[in-house]
Amino acid sequence: MSTGHITYSTTHADSVASVVHRIENPPMDVPRNMLSALDFICIQVQARVGGKRIRRNKQIVEVLDIDPRTNELITNEVFKWRSATDEHSYSGKSYLLEELMEARGWSESRMREELKRRQEVLEWMRIKKIRHYKDVSKILISYHRDPEAVIERVRKDLYE
């Protein structure tokens, strides 16, 4: 987690507090101070929408720091799923996106443009039913290496 390498992990939990509890206790026993190495936590749920069983990200929460006084995680909920409308709402603030913009020298409009492009790629994969992790990985790696080539292909398929 704290080695400088990107890691992804899953755990069964229904809230950020449950995730923290599971990580801090056996068998993982990760000390609280290590949790600040997490960038964000996604809480996924199974639900029914229109009589159909679906999975949705209930929350995407950034882990910002640990309060030195209380030892509690300082978090920021970036997205929340609204079950009544089956839509996600953005809180209006993401510290991670701000860090990325600063690191890359991007304006807010440039960041919005990049997020829109990535949304197009995800929508294209959904329409094309590209779901196997190896296929998804290939596309994401291709986008990282040559975003213009991937977005050209995506837009050709989506809009022509």
Per-residue pLDDT tens digits of the chain, which is 160 residues long: 556 677 788 899 999 999 999 999 999 999 999 999 999 999 999 999 889 999 999 999 999 999 999 999 999 999 999 999 999 999 999 999 999 999 999 999 999 999 999 999 999 999 999 999 999 999 999 999 999 999 999 999 999 8
DSSP helix/strand/coil, 13? coil
> What pTM, to 2 d.p., does this model score?
0.84
Residues 6+ positions from 75 with CB-CB distance below 8 Å: 16, 41, 61, 62, 63, 64
Q: Where are the domains of the chain?
A: 1-105, 106-160
